[in-house]
Amino acid sequence: MDLSKKIICKDCFETPIKYVAGVDVAYAYNQSIGAVAVLKYDSMKLVELETSKVTARFPYIPTLLSFREVPPAASAIKKLRVKPDVFLVDGQGIAHPYRLGFASHLGLVLDIATVGVAKTLLCGRIAESESGFWRPIVHEGKIVGGVVSTKLNARPVYVSVGHKVSLETAIKIVLECSRKHRIPEPIREAHMIAEKIKREYVSK
């Protein structure tokens, strides 16, 4: 896929990071609900929440979910008053058969730094590593992500470059944003508000 060739796998944002955002999308019937939560990086204190609801126009096709999820997510992000330095996205980055998961696609569309944080492995194999907290995901001979343990005795998350960030930095950010839970706090906040709106919509 030509878009995947435009992905930048190096850090392209200012440091130290001041604000980090989480992005998630929920579905209610034919409606896609995009949610973005902005937190202070040092304290994980919530500073802004924005949502957007749009009609899903792209069919459900495995490996092409980003075409359904980018419109509501982008719409919510464009409402933000606070500008995050980096976005953690509930989905795959380049750890994807086409090297273009939701996080990468969103990063390209909005020209923002994104990190893919997925709950499952979509492609590749997990390699051995001397590191105690992450192992490489290898696909077609290349390291495309990392299996990261954010919490003891919990399932890992699958981290990959979205856009404008290196894998090393992506993993570091995910670990620093994972406080009391397996899922990084920015994504948890975005997920909770998206699910709340979904429940309200379905109960009508």
The domain that holds 137 is classified in CATH as 3.30.2170.10
Domains identified in the chain, total number: 1
Q: What is the pLDDT of residue 204?
A: 66
- Name the one residue in this structure whose structure tokens are 């606070």: 82
Q: Are 122 and 138 in contact (CB under 8 A)?
A: no
Gap between the Cα atoms of 170 and 201, Å rounded:
34
**Model pLDDT for residues 8-33, shown as the tens digit of each residue:** 999 999 899 999 999 999 998 889 99
Spell out where the chain has E strands. Answer: 19-28, 31-40, 46-55, 86-90, 114-118, 125-126, 134-139, 142-148, 157-163
Q: Are strands 19-28 and 31-40 parallel, antiparallel or unpaired?
A: antiparallel
Q: Tokens for 180?
A: 């009391």
The runs of H, that is alpha helices, within 48-163 are 66-77, 102-110
Angle in degrees, CA 72, 73, 77, rounded to 5: 120
Q: What is the pLDDT of residue 167?
A: 98
Q: What is the pLDDT of residue 70?
A: 95
Domain of residue 157: give its range: 2-202
Q: What is the pLDDT of residue 126?
A: 95
Of the candidates 59, 30, 21, 22, the one whose C-alpha atom is nearest the C-alpha of residue 198 is 30
Q: Which residues of the chain have pLDDT under 70?
A: 1, 204
User: What backbone torsions phi and psi does residue 153 show, to the nearest 5 degrees?
Assistant: 60, 30
Q: What is the pLDDT of residue 202?
A: 75
Q: What is the pLDDT of residue 201?
A: 80
Q: What is the pLDDT of residue 61?
A: 77
Gap between the Cα atoms of 154 and 185, Å rounded:
16
Of the candidates 31, 28, 66, 34, the one whose C-alpha atom is nearest the C-alpha of residue 49 is 34
